[in-house]
Amino acid sequence: MRYRELSADVVVVGAGIAGLRAALAASGRGVSVLLVSKGVAASPAVIGFNAPVGVGDSGEVFFRDTCVGGGGLNDCALAGLLTGQAVGVLSEFESLGFSFDREGAAYDLLQPLGCSCPRLVHQSNHTGSASMAMMREELVRRQVKECAGVTALDLLRDRHRICGLLAADPLRDEIWVISAGAVVLANGGGSGIYADSTYPDGIAGDGYGMAYRAGASLLDMEFVQFEPCRCIWPRKLGISTTLLAKGGELCNRLGERFILKRYPGGEGTVSKDMLARLIALEIQAGNGSEHGGVYLDLRMLPEKVLKRDHSMYYERFLRAGIDLTTEWIEVAPAAHTFMGGVKINAGCGCGVPGLFAAGEVTGGIHGANRLGGNAGTEIYVFGKIAGDSAAEYVHRHGQVSISDQERRMIDERFGHLRGGDAYAVIDDAKTLIKNTMGSYVGAVRCADGLVRAGRIIQELAIEFKNYKAISVQELTQLTELKNMMLTAELVVAAAHQRQESRGVHYREDFPERDDRHWRRSIIITPGAAGHEFSFVARNGEKGAEGRRAAQSGRGEF
């Protein structure tokens, strides 16, 4: 194998908004930064982010909405940072010339599902892609190198701290050994372990696998948010649930607005978790549409709402030959956002010296359910915190060399992949994982299905335990498969443990929320004998002290 040696003070894995923010923050503190990414990210689809700047809104109201929406399982300190620093993000970007849509002097705020008032600031529907372009321009000016198409494989350790990153460049058939003083994981969630996902296929749990193998704990892995209204017919396309708050309607095959049976105020008054659950149960009851979903009707909305305020979605459907002003579509829940992930502290540290994380790869902020618009706030706020913390760590501790033992372990990854065509074997295994998760670990779950899913995933893990690759491309694919298997295994295990329904986790056999026994997060830690489970009690919606204790300082590029 060809090895390429590189070095940087801070390596950031992932080039979505969280990764770009981390790279900017770290480079602004006088350390060298290398940005490594597979080349896939969900951030360009970010419409905007929540900030409490509307009439009647405040940081306290925003914090309360977040914790109520999270089913009382939010880490109050992290939720306080999210809601306390949102306005600072808005001010920072405006000071750099980034414009947000306004109606006169006031911001043009959208109302995401679960928010008690309009709160989403945005630049048309292109906030994510436009802000990424601005940040990349600044990174280029600072001569921060971004390496796209390079897959992070594993973290390298020297005794008890991170000392670098192992990565692969499949196109050049090179293994990269990158020495680093600190690493920031910002490489997204794991919805790619499901057959139907709103995210690119490559986002399939890489960060969870890397952090877990390095000794970090994961928490709340059972909480996978399903986007309620993924279009499944005539084409598989994403669409925003903010259109329901504008008056969009959902109907079953009988033409009934079934949501009104539980929520007389209409579809726009329902949280995302409950909406996905009700749609899934309606389909399961045999009242679904012709192609296995329900009908979404947007024809009654003013054209301004579709063609201007949601232009990204209107134009996306129009390019596919679908005019949302004259046609209805069929939608169904699809895997979207992971609430759980790497356990972090207020500085985005992961409990492993030199390792930091930000964005969807982390857990604890959103509890059992994420409010619409909070994913955007999270990646802007915590990306900066992670970059600042990583730079500070390097200033205090410097770098250490990658040991000979770590280098020998790199060589041991190569050998011969059994079973004929390596790519076919790996692809078949990935497909099995996706279908298994979709069938048994979706928006509606039960013990029997979870047991079946767990058995299938464990058998796959045993089958591939000793597989080795004969090329860099095979190693890349095999590592991604192992990350998918680990992520799926932990989601299933946590979902089986939580014998209640809360937020996005719904158990048919335990349909009620049980605060007496389950107002706590499930933490999974790697142990010598396998996964070790522990629990942390949450203060629930009453944890206002976390909001008050949160820092509210403004960040700057």
H/E element, 389: helix 374-397
Who's near 157: CB < 8 A, 6+ residues apart?
163, 214, 215, 352, 406
Q: Which of 396, 425, 60, 365 is nearest to 220 (CA)?
A: 365
CA 319 to chain centre: 27
pLDDT per residue over 114-142, tens digit each? 899 999 999 988 899 999 999 999 999 99
Alpha helices (H) along 227-309? 242-245, 272-282, 303-304
Q: Cβ contacts of residue 436 below 8 Å, gap of 6+?
A: 452, 453, 456, 457, 488
**C-alpha distance from residue 548 to each of 58, 67, 107, 371 (Å):** 13, 14, 26, 20
pLDDT number for residue 415: 63
Q: Over its length of 557 residues, how does the chain's per-residue pLDDT go in tens digits?
A: 678 999 999 999 999 999 999 999 999 999 999 999 998 788 888 999 999 999 999 999 999 999 999 999 999 999 999 999 999 999 999 999 999 999 999 999 998 888 999 999 999 888 999 999 999 999 999 999 999 999 999 999 998 899 999 999 998 999 999 999 999 999 999 999 999 898 888 899 999 999 999 999 999 999 999 999 999 999 999 898 889 989 999 999 999 999 999 999 999 888 888 999 999 999 999 999 999 999 999 999 999 899 988 888 999 999 999 999 999 999 999 999 999 999 999 999 999 999 999 999 999 999 999 998 999 999 999 999 999 999 999 999 999 888 888 888 887 776 654 445 788 899 999 999 999 999 999 999 999 999 999 999 999 999 998 888 888 999 999 999 999 999 999 999 999 999 999 999 999 999 999 999 999 999 999 998 889 999 999 975 544 444 443 433 333 33
Q: Is the peptide bond before 234 cis (omega within 30 degrees of 0)?
A: yes
User: For the segment 327-375, what is each residue's pLDDT rounded down to a tens digit?
Assistant: 999 999 999 999 999 999 999 999 999 999 999 999 999 999 999 899 9
- As given in the structure block, the two tokens for residue 219 are 């928490």
Q: What CA–CA distance (Å, rounded) separates 150 from 183?
A: 15
At residue 187, the pLDDT reads 96
Strand, coil or helix: 305: helix
CB atoms within 10 A of CB 424: 10
φ, ψ dihedrals at 266, nearest 5°: 105, 175
Q: Among candidates 384, 371, 144, 152, which has minimal Cα distance to 241?
A: 371
Alpha carbon 211 to chain centroid distance? Answer: 15
* Pairing verdict, β 33-37 and 145-148: parallel
Distance CA 197, CA 122 (A): 24
| C-alpha neighbours within 13 Å on the C-beta side of residue 244 | 31
pTM (global) more than 0.85:
yes
Q: Where are the beta strands (DSSP E) in 302-368?
A: 329-338, 341-343, 355-357, 362-363
d(CA 437, CA 180): 36
| Alpha carbons 34 and 85: distance in angstroms, whole number | 26
Domains of the chain (ranges, CATH numbers): 11-119+142-223+337-384 (3.50.50.60), 225-333 (3.90.700.10), 413-535 (1.20.58.100)
Q: How far apart are CA 148 and CA 174, in angstroms?
A: 14
pLDDT at position 551: 36
CA distances from 354 to 18, 214, 346 (A): 18, 11, 15
Q: What six digits make up the tokens of 128?
A: 């994510």
Q: How many CB atoms lie within 10 A of CB 141?
A: 9
What is the per-residue pLDDT for 541? 52
DSSP 8-state assignment for residue 284: I
d(CA 133, CA 20): 10
Strand 102-103 to 249-251 pairing: unpaired
Q: Give DSSP secondary structure letters for 258-273.
A: GGGGT-TT-GGGS-HH
In our burial notation (b when 16+ CB lie closer than 10 A, e otherwise), range 190-219 reads: bbbbbbbbbbbebbbbbbbbbbbebbbbbb
Taking alpha carbons only, the member of 325, 35, 321 closest to residue 186 is 35
Confirm if 252 and 282 have CB atoms less than 8 A apart. yes
Residue 515 confidence (pLDDT): 96
Provide the b/e sequence for 34-66 (b: ≥16 CB within 10 Å). bbbbbebbbbbbbbbbbbbbbeebebebbbbbb
> Of 114, 132, 157, which is closest to residue 20 (Cα–Cα)?
132
pLDDT digits (tens, 9 = 90+) for 395-433: 999 998 888 888 888 877 766 544 457 888 999 999 999
| Helix/strand number for the chain, H first, E second | 17, 20
* Angle at CA of residue 142, ends 136 and 143, nearest 5°: 90
pLDDT at 346: 98
